[in-house]
Structure 1
Amino acid sequence: MAAVKACNILISGANRGLGLETVKQLSEDSCPKRHIFATCRDPDGPKSEALRELVKKHPSVITIIRLDADDPCSIKESAKKVGSLLGNSGLNLLVNNAGIVAKGTIQTSSVEDMKHTFSTNVIGPLLIIKEFLPYLQTAAKASGTPGMSCNKAAVINISTVGGSISTMPSLYDQFPVLPYCVSKAGFNMLTVLAAEELKADEILCMALHPGWVKTELGGEKAPLEPKESVEGMLRVIGSLTEQQHGGFMDYTGNTIPW
């Protein structure tokens, strides 16, 4: 298994589902000097209880930071807070995991659902990359090694096959989630264009599909447990090089068509 050796890691949407499982697995890893910034919308709320319990087990490894992907001011404040804690070492790995699902079709999707989904799933990650970019640049420069990897400096966008324009039509009857799919297709384009911009700084950027997972978002019918999905994603993340920069893969390492 290709280990994730990144020291300073930030994960959005870390209080439940895949985000929480990712924090759990990374905090249990024996990587020295690791620090995980686990961000969520409401750190003190009932939905963050499991994350707070995890911090009690690993108090020197995990720091909870308030970050609402739908609130630009919150994103700015979180970047300032993380920056003050990072010092001169920079941020090695940014995992854009926060996202929402809204069901609907052409006939049933509301303007509010479209706006809210796009704001959280596309504009939020865009602003998160923008605000944390200086820390990723610092880490890339500090590494002193050529090439790209998640251990040096990387942005991993947790996307979905639902954002694949060539794949989704055949699944649409089963998953009528138009606002979600449209926003994730936009998120995929954001990944591709961010990869173009980040190339010069040798900051790796790619989109990763976790599979259909049994979470609050994925539902009970999903065939995959969060543990299995995250184990696979961390294997993929740990093995990434510049060859996968700007790519779209799933948790098993297979390439997904745009």
Structure 2
Amino acid sequence: MEDFRIQSVLLTGSDRGIGLGLVQEFVKLPHPPQLLFATCRHPESLEGQVLKEMAARCSNGSRLVVLQLDVTDPHSIEAAAEEVEKYLAGRGLNLLINNAGIACETTLASETAQSMAAVYATNTIGPLQVCQAFLPLLKRAARRSNCLGMSCSKAAVINMSSSYGSISAVDEWEWHQDVGYRCSKAALNMLTRCQSLGYGPCGILCVSLHPGGVKTCLGAEKGVLTVDSSARGILEVLSRLSAKDNGTFLDWRGQTVPW
């Protein structure tokens, strides 16, 4: 990733798990982003303080900005977009990573309308609304970029999905049904496809990514992959993405995940 250069990145759900791991890996890059926006619902929480401490230590020409953003609250999303635009000062946003997500351990028998709606609000509707709010900044980045083709260095949307959203694979159903979570991620994958068709002509790359079976507080996937390994793999994949990957579903190794 020596040649991976990206000016601005925004991550949702940055205060724990894979989101925090990605922030840590971004700041360790040989050429870290000039502006890295780490957003979370509660910046004043203990988890948010970790981000603020990281921001205070940032150097090497990179600036880590911690912002409040609740992906289920349109007012919070709009406020964050306005704040980000101020920091960018006329420049566009190169990379948006929709990482915020929740899960409820449910079965077909126990799933409820309330729990499914809550999961959809964060995992599917949230990424839709965040992309809508930040689209003008993504388009601006694409227009201003000197990069040929599509790439994360130019303008891209990465939706953090899951192999649990694969309709053909239906991974690990026998011991973890998680009906609402699976449905929300399958819907997120369709959203990615729609975004690739709608935003692709503007030069914006759109990809769904499965981070692997990572042991995090989310609770949906009980894997053995560490957060660090997943985050490093994801950044390696991001550094290689191009137009041929627009609208695809990949994992942290860059391998195709079946729809």
Return the letter of the residue paired with 1:30: P
| Superposition deviation, residue 28 in structure 1 | 1.9
| Superposition deviation, residue 220 in structure 1 | 9.4
Q: Contact 2:211 / 2:251 at 8 angstroms: preserved in 1?
A: yes
Pairwise CA RMSD? 1.6
Residue of structure 1 equivalent to 2:251: 250
Q: Contact 2:149 / 2:203 at 8 angstroms: preserved in 1?
A: yes
Q: Contact 1:212 / 1:218 at 8 angstroms: preserved in 2?
A: no
Identity %: 40
Distance of 1:165 and 1:6 partners within structure 2: 33
Residue of structure 2 equivalent to 1:11: 11
Q: How many positions carry a matched residue from both structures?
A: 257
Residue of structure 2 equivalent to 1:48: 48
Deviates more, 1:190-199 or 1:136-145: 136-145
Deviates more, 1:59-68 or 1:180-189: 59-68
Residue of structure 2 equivalent to 1:233: 234
Structure 1 ranges of 4+ moved more than 4 A? 218-221
Q: Contact 1:66 / 1:74 at 8 angstroms: preserved in 2?
A: yes
Aligned positions of 1:24-63 closer than 5 A:
24-31=24-31, 34-58=34-58, 61-63=63-65
Q: Contact 2:108 / 2:177 at 8 angstroms: preserved in 1?
A: no
Distance of 2:142 and 2:240 partners within structure 1: 17
SS of equivalent residue, structure 2 residue 206: strand
Aligned positions of 1:80-119 closer than 5 A:
80-119=82-121
SS of equivalent residue, structure 1 residue 215: coil
Return the letter of the residue paired with 2:164: G
Residue of structure 2 equivalent to 1:193: 194
Deviates more, 1:105-114 or 1:178-187: 105-114
SS of equivalent residue, structure 2 residue 105: coil
Change (3 A) 1:250 1:3: farther
| Superposition deviation, residue 29 in structure 1 | 1.7
Aligned positions of 1:116-195 closer than 5 A:
116-168=118-170, 171-195=172-196
Q: Structure 2 stretches of 5 or more lacking a match?
A: none
Change (3 A) 1:219 1:183: closer
| Superposition deviation, residue 172 in structure 1 | 1.1
SS of equivalent residue, structure 1 residue 173: coil
TM-score by length of 1: 0.95
